[in-house]
Amino acid sequence: MTNQRQVILEEVKNLGSHPTADEIYERVRKRLPRISMGTVYRNLDTLASCGFISKLEPGQSQMRFDGKTNDHYHITCMRCGCIEDAPIAPLQDSLANLENALGNLTKHGIFGHKLEFIGLCSSCRKEDKKNSRAIANHSNEKKKSI
Ligand SMILES: [Zn+2]
Ligand SMILES: [Zn+2]
């Protein structure tokens, strides 16, 4: 493994918060000031395809990376796209049953599943509260002026 790749891997593991490629690049650049964004991208791809990190593709937002490669579920914020680890163990038994059932019901060989929880993260919920308070204040003012 090249030194660059080693540094990138370390930063992904250290960040531990499902960073985007940009966030990883910012951190890596502090240690390797001459590295380019393209090099970081390419190395992230290689690290992901070799199974050192996982690549998360939450659909609506930027691609993110995960230094944890063990089986775990994620909660994605539907507003800002941040990703947190879901504090529950993978549902081995019930989902293994489901996988078997699917395998029997269809002509597909089933090799696994993806399960993603969708929610609103704590900072987005705070924003929501602020906004709804602002709306409430606004409508109060209106009432007063009438
Ligand atoms: Zn959020
Ligand atoms: Zn994770």
Q: What is the pLDDT along the chain (146 residues), one digit of tens a residue?
A: 789 999 999 999 998 889 999 999 999 999 999 999 999 999 999 999 999 999 987 665 678 999 998 888 999 998 988 899 998 887 777 888 888 899 899 988 888 888 889 999 999 999 888 888 877 777 666 666 55
CA 12 to ligand 2 center in whole angstroms: 11
Check: pTM over 0.95? Answer yes or no.
no
Phi-psi region of 100 (alpha: psi -120 to 50; beta: other; left: phi over 0): alpha
Helix H or strand E segment including 125? helix 122-145
CA 86 to ligand 1 center in whole angstroms: 15
| Nearest partner of 116 among 50, 61, 51, 67, judged by Cα | 61
Q: What is the pLDDT of residue 129?
A: 87
